[in-house]
Amino acid sequence: MTVKKITKADFTDLIEKVIASQKVYAPQAKGDKYDFAPLTSAGDMKLDYDVTLQPPKKYFIPPVETLLTFEVGGGYQSQFDEEKFVLLGVHPYDMVAINQIDKLFSDGHFDNHYMNRRTNATIIALDVVNASKNVFASEIGTATVKQGYDLLLTDIGDAYIAEAATEKGAALLAGANAADATDDDLAKKQKVQSDNELSLSKHLLKCPASDLPKLLEKAYDHPVWEEQAETCFACGSCNQVCPTCYCFNVQDDVNWDMKTGERKRAWDGCMLDGFTKCAPDHEFRKNRADRFRHRLFRKGKYVPYKLGGEIACVGCGRCVGACLPDIANPVNVYNRLFDDLGNG
Amino acid sequence: MCECCTTKKDIYLPQLATIEKMRLMNDTEMYFRFNMDDGPMDFIPGQFVEVSVAGVGEAPFTISSSPTQKDGIEMVVRRIGNVSKALHNLKTGDKIGIRGPLGEGVYPVEEVKGKDIVFICGGIGLVPQRSFINYVLDNRDDYGHVTILLGTKCHNQRFFQSELEQWTTRDDIHFLETIDEAHDCWNGNVGVVTTLLPKIESELASSEIMVCGPPIMYKFVLMALAEDNVPHDQIYLNLERKMKCGVGKCGHCQINNYYACVDGPVFKYSDLGIAPEAI
């Protein structure tokens, strides 16, 4: 494993060089907020961002993607994106989310549309520089990350400490004007990480995150689901901004020639009315409160059951900001359950 | 494409099949028999396929034929949604796309060998059950006493009628039928399928029970079976849901902790634990 110290100016030069040969996606300003977008000039990247509007999952599960092409009455052809790309500036909580979806899309039935994009990506993760107003990653244990990235950057003030975790990361770093990191540099990096492990906690969870599956076991019929969902618009914003939500719909689009077409998958959300609706009119999770409960059970119980206990909320806080009636904050719901049921 | 992806097949890619036979069985149900263009498909009763009509979409249908039948794969499609309507408009010789067989929760074909079996079928729930029923009938000596209960909404909706007549005359199975609404042509039992249960009350607790029908049916069947103290590990529920991907990713078919598409569609009741969304 290579660990280098690279000045911010040299890092900007490195990214300028990378842009010339590969597509790069990085956090950039969007109004007074930030979002991941294609980078055309290294000067546009904002590596001190607090949180992006959308998580970077869109580069692995695009909002709409073509899975297959077909001929009406004929055969089907798989379609894959071949482009290699660099995803720069992924915060640890988003990296944890990508690691989780990697497991879910590769275990059992192997989704090579997702995994192909994943393999084509070089991920440069980045320790958080400025905490967003709703982040609670420290509460979940996702304020730092140990795996999944090719390169991890830590801002130590005047420079980045860059840790290459893979050959891809090392190759990328080899193109930079960088010095070996000293013990002092490593200590500064450690300080940033240990600070983040405590300070990314704008909402405090009253129980350890690992206790959530057990807590939820007792909470299926709790009144909180009906109470919270009373003002829910079922708009699916919480699903859309969630880095660990990956549900999708599949539909056929026929081309203008009426002979050929594409089978596409598109983001879907378990909060949306009709998500479980079968022909002609049977909806298995029609009640809004049931859908609200399902979302938080997925994060705190169902997906952890598949991931060996790992909680499927990474504490990015995006849903807290995206929810118009302000009911989506998982910490509020889990704390309420802990107050009522925690010691029972 | 990367190495690991090239070695694995695309789980969303349908294989072509040719429709060998289509027959309208009543006002809404169409019988299909198709053959895979690349050779026969092995499957276990209870498994389903995602059927594609290019340009319209894909929908899941449980295979209705038994794997013992080598002459193509059968399914029955109710004309009710976009894909099913498009399927009804096809003709013999047309191509459809098939992904499958799918579903790892299947009928306990091996587990219940030597045991008595009761099939409780509500309406179109006969279609998936028929795969296991015909499997049992083709391997009759491997299984104990076989009882089939069938409830149909109205007389005109009965399908597989010649097969039902054969079941009536066979002396190695016990076939009981009911119709929800009285009809001039019907002299048998009138009422929902649970009204047949008292007639076989004595055999329920010692039998393996296979249940498939409309969503509303499960609760009432389970209540009736509870009255007869049928152990939960002898009850198998075939739970059909909206399934877009069929491979445990898209989330639509989730029943609490479970995915109907990969964990089911056939579930042992005792394995479901607490899954209120199942019924």
Contact residues on chain B for A250, CB-CB shorter than 8 A? 12, 57-58, 244-245, 250
Same domain for B141 and B98:
no
Please indicate, yes or no, whether residues B206 and B273 belong to a single structural domain of this protein: yes
Q: Quick one: pLDDT band at residue A342, thresholds 50, 70, 90?
A: confident
At A57, give phi and psi (nearest 5°).
-60, -25
Same domain membership, residue B162 and residue B51: no
pLDDT tens per residue across span B45-93 = 999 999 999 999 999 999 999 999 988 999 999 999 999 999 999 999 9
Position A137 scores a pLDDT of: 97
Statement to judge: residues B134 and B271 lie in one domain: yes
A120 and A231 part of one domain: no
Nearest CA-CA distance, residue B190 and chain A, Å: 26
Residue A309: is its pLDDT beyond 90? Answer: yes
Q: A296 and A252: one domain? A: yes
Rounded Cα–Cα distance for residues B83 and A263 (Å)? 14
Task: Indicate whether A69 pLDDT > 70.
Answer: yes
Question: B174: closest CA among B225, B220, B119, B229?
Answer: B119
Listing DSSP states for A227-253 in one string gives: HHHTT-----HHHHH-TT---EEEEEE
Has residue B110 been placed in a domain? Answer: no
Please state the φ and ψ torsions of residue B133, each to the nearest 5 degrees.
-60, -50
- Render pLDDT for A151-179 as a digit per residue (tens, 0 to 9): 999 999 999 999 999 999 999 999 999 99
Give yes or no for residue B275 having a pLDDT over 90: no
Tens digits of per-residue pLDDT, A19-39? 999 999 999 999 999 999 999
> What ipTM does this complex have?
0.92
> Is B46 contained in some domain?
yes
Joined tokens for residue A54: 């959308």
Q: Is residue A104 part of a domain?
A: yes
CB contact under 8 A, B248 and A108: yes
A22 interfacial to chain B (CB closer than 8 Å): no
Neighbouring residues of A257: CB distance < 8 A, sequence distance ≥ 6: none
The angle subtended at Cα B65 by Cα B59 and Cα B69, nearest 5°, is: 140
B90 & B126 share domain: no
Same domain, A247 and A101: no
- The pLDDT assigned to A78 comes to 96
* Domain encompassing residue A298: 209-341
CA distance A271 to chain B (A): 11
Average pLDDT score, chain A = 95
B8-42 burial, b if ≥16 CB within 10 A, otherwise e?
A: eebbbbbbbbebeebeebeebbbbbbbbbeeeebe
Question: Could you tell me if A268 and A293 lie in one domain?
Answer: yes
Of the candidates B102, B126, B161, which is a domain's last residue?
B102
User: CA of A16 to nearest chain B CA: how many angstroms apart?
Assistant: 26
Instruction: Give kind and range of the element (H or E) at residue A293.
Output: helix A288-297
Asked which of A178, A199, A220 is the last residue of a domain, the reply is A199
pLDDT tens track for A316-341: 999 999 999 999 999 999 999 999 99
Q: What is the DSSP letter of A255?
A: -
Q: Following DSSP, what letter does each residue of A87-117 receive, concatenated?
A: EEEE-HHHHHHHHHHHHHHHSSS--HHHHHH
DSSP for residue A301: I
- B5 has a pLDDT exceeding 70: no
Do A287 and A156 share a structural domain? no
Q: Do B250 and A70 touch (CB under 8 A)?
A: no
| Segment B165-209, tens digit of pLDDT | 999 999 999 999 999 988 888 889 999 999 999 999 999 999 999
Domain assignment present for residue A204? The answer is no
Residue located via tokens 């009432």: B220
- Interchain CB distance below 8 Å, B52 and A76: yes
Nearest to B80 among A74, A277, A280 (CB): A280
Q: Is B275 on the interface with A (CB under 8 A)?
A: no
Within-domain flag for B227: yes
**Confidence class for position A206, pLDDT limits 50, 70, 90:** very high
Using CB atoms, pick whichever of A109, A276, A282 lies closest to residue B248.
Answer: A109
Residue A262 has a pLDDT of 97
Task: Based on the fold, state whether residues B85 and B123 are members of the same structural domain.
Answer: no
pLDDT at A219: 95
- Same domain assignment for residues A255 and A170: no
Whether residues B263 and B147 fall in one domain: yes
Rounded to whole angstroms, the Cα distance separating A161 from B126 reads 65
pLDDT at A100 over 80: yes
Which residue has tokens 């880095």? A243
- B3 within some domain: no
pLDDT band per the 50, 70, 90 thresholds, residue B1? low
Q: Both A62 and A84 in a single domain? A: yes
User: Are A21 and A77 in a shared domain?
Assistant: yes
Given an 8 Å threshold on Cβ–Cβ distance, is B57 in contact with A251?
yes
Identify the bridge partners of residue A125 per DSSP, sorted by sequence position: A90, A152
In a domain, B1, yes or no: no
Question: Are B229 and B267 contained in the same domain?
Answer: yes
Chain A (65-94) residues lying within 8 Å, Cβ to Cβ, of chain B: 67-68, 70-76, 78, 80, 82
**A45 lies in the same domain as A17:** yes
Contacts B12 to A, Cβ<8 Å: 67-68, 78, 113, 250, 263, 265
- B55–chain A Cβ distance below 8 A for any pair: yes
The pLDDT score that the predictor gives to residue B202 is 92
Q: Is residue B55 part of a domain?
A: yes
pLDDT of residue A278: 87
Q: Are residues A169 and A49 in the same domain?
A: yes
CB contact at 8 A, A299 and A330: yes
Q: Is the Cβ of A284 closer than 8 Å to some Cβ of chain B?
A: yes
- Residue A334 CB contacts under 8 Å (≥ 6 apart), including other chains: A205, A206, A207, A212, A215, A296, A300
Does the pLDDT of residue A344 top 70, yes or no?
no
Which residues, 6+ apart, have CB-to-CB distance to B65 below 8 Å?
Answer: B33, B72, B73, B74, B75, B130, B131, B134
Residue A281 CA to residue A293 CA, distance in Å, equals 22
Scanning A30-69 for CB atoms below 8 A from B yields 67-68
User: Which of chain B's residues have a Cβ under 8 Å away from the Cβ of A284?
Assistant: 215, 241-242, 255, 277
Q: Using CA atoms, how far apart are residues A73 and B230, in angstroms rounded to an integer?
A: 49
Residues B37 and B150 in one domain: no
User: Under 8 Å CB-to-CB from A30, ≥6 apart: which residues?
Assistant: A37, A53
Does the beta-carbon distance from B251 to A70 stay under 8 Å? no
The answer to whether position A302 is within a domain reads yes
Give the residue from A144, A164, A199 where a domain finishes: A199
Task: Please indicate whether, in this complex, the C-beta atoms of A73 and B241 are within 8 angstroms of each other.
Answer: no
CA distance A91 to chain B (A): 25
Percent share of chain B, pLDDT over 90: 87
Parent domain of B43: 9-102
DSSP-derived 3-state class of residue B157: helix
Q: Is residue B249 predicted with pLDDT exceeding 70?
A: yes
Total domain count for chain B? 2
Of A152, A174, A199, the position where a domain reaches its end is: A199
Residues B153 and B224 in one domain: yes
Query: Does residue B125 belong to any structural domain of this protein?
Result: yes
Domain assignment present for B240? yes
Domains held by chain A: number: 2
Taking all residues of chain B, what is their mean pLDDT, rounded to a whole number? Answer: 94
Verify that B146 and B91 share a domain, yes or no: no
Residue A37 inside a domain? The answer is yes
pLDDT at B111: 97
Residue A153 domain flag: yes
Cβ contact, residue pair A248, B244, below 8 Å: yes
Reference B130, options B79, B175, B187; nearest CA is B175
Residue A307 has pLDDT above 90, yes or no: yes
pLDDT number for residue A245: 97
Note the pLDDT tens digit of each residue in B218-235. 999 999 999 999 999 999
Residue A343 confidence (pLDDT): 66
Average pLDDT of the segment spanning A103-121: 95
| Helices A92-106 and A112-120, packing angle to 10 deg | 140
Is B145 in the A-facing interface, judged by CB distances under 8 Å? no
Report the residue of chain B nearest A267, measured CA to CA: B250
pLDDT of residue B185: 85
Considering the domain architecture, whether residues A101 and A156 belong to the same structural domain is answered as: yes
Query: By CA distance, what is B16's nearest residue in A?
Result: A75
The reported pLDDT for the residue numbered A96 is 98
Q: What's B272's domain CATH number? A: 3.40.50.80
Looking at the fold, whether A127 and A235 belong to one and the same domain comes out as no
Confidence class for position B246, pLDDT limits 50, 70, 90: very high
Question: Are B225 and B254 within one domain?
Answer: yes
More confident position, A292 or B272: A292
Tens digit of each residue's pLDDT (9 = 90 or more) over A270-286: 999 999 998 778 889 99
B10 vs A282: CB contact, 8 Å cut-off?
no
